[in-house]
Copies of this chain bind each other. A is one copy, B any other.
């Protein structure tokens, strides 16, 4: 699917939060998971700007670990604020997507 950039604004961060909530993970792996999900054009740079934002907003805990496959990885886990943020994200998503689907149907 081409050119879904604008439509991803405001939801990509929530997707990243959701992926992190499934268990400790790091930027590069998150990118791959988003691609597997279908957002094939998402690049590392985009995900890193999001994870750095999550750090700044204190929504994640961080642990740096060595890797045998390359440079050290920065592993993220959701903290309590991150969990709460994720819940709010899904509430917003439910609201917005239901309204848009309502518009589409009628």
Q: How far is B103's CA from A18's CA once the two chains are assembled, in angstroms?
A: 8
The answer to whether A1 touches B100 (Cβ under 8 A) is no
The answer to whether A103 touches B15 (Cβ under 8 A) is yes
Known pairs A9-B9, A38-B95; A100 contacts B15 (CB<8 A)? yes
Interface bin, chain A: 20 to 34
With both chains docked as a complex, state the minimum distance between the C-beta of A59 and any C-beta of chain B, in angstroms.
15
- A-B contact list, 18 entries, CB within 8 Å: A1-B92, A1-B95, A4-B10, A4-B92, A4-B95, A6-B10, A7-B9, A7-B93, A8-B10, A10-B10, A15-B100, A15-B103, A18-B103, A37-B99, A38-B95, A93-B100, A93-B104, A97-B97
Residues of A within 8 A of B (CB): 1, 3-11, 15, 18-19, 37-39, 90-93, 95-97, 99-104
Having A7-B92, A38-B99, one finds 12 other A-B pairs with CB under 8 Å, namely A1-B92, A4-B10, A4-B92, A4-B95, A7-B93, A7-B96, A8-B10, A9-B9, A15-B100, A93-B100, A97-B100, A97-B101
